[in-house]
Amino acid sequence: MKSKVYMRCQTHSKKTYTKFYFSLKNLAKKYNFLFYYISLPKKIKKYTVLRSPNGNKKSKDQFEIRFYNFLIILLYNSNMPNNIFKIIKSYFEPNILVKISYTNK
């Protein structure tokens, strides 16, 4: 029986993004499962803050937050170890938001 796991991830830093990808790549070689990596469009939120709200309206600071989004699809057989999700979870860093869904065929 084959199973698919979809992991939709979101992070603020590109270093975390690449580190998680390479750790999953090494894990896939070790446990012999396939995984696909799809990069989704990044979202940029921009904020404008007035420096002095009382007087000078023209002096403003602009900030932006970038969200890097990616989708990881894991394909594996039912003979995988049961603790594979605990192992994958150990590679998550605190600044990665992950949503997991799966299907069995």
Q: 25: which DSSP letter?
A: H
Entry pTM: 0.73
pLDDT, one tens digit for every residue, the chain (105 residues): 577 888 888 998 888 888 888 888 888 888 788 888 898 999 999 999 998 878 888 889 999 999 999 998 888 776 666 667 777 777 777 788 888 887 776
Q: Which two tokens stand for residue 46?
A: 């921009």
- The shares of helix, strand and coil residues in the chain, as percent rounded to the nearest 5, are 25, 50, 30
Range of the domain at 84: 2-104
Domain count, the chain: 1
Residue 50 sits in a domain of what CATH number?
3.30.70.600
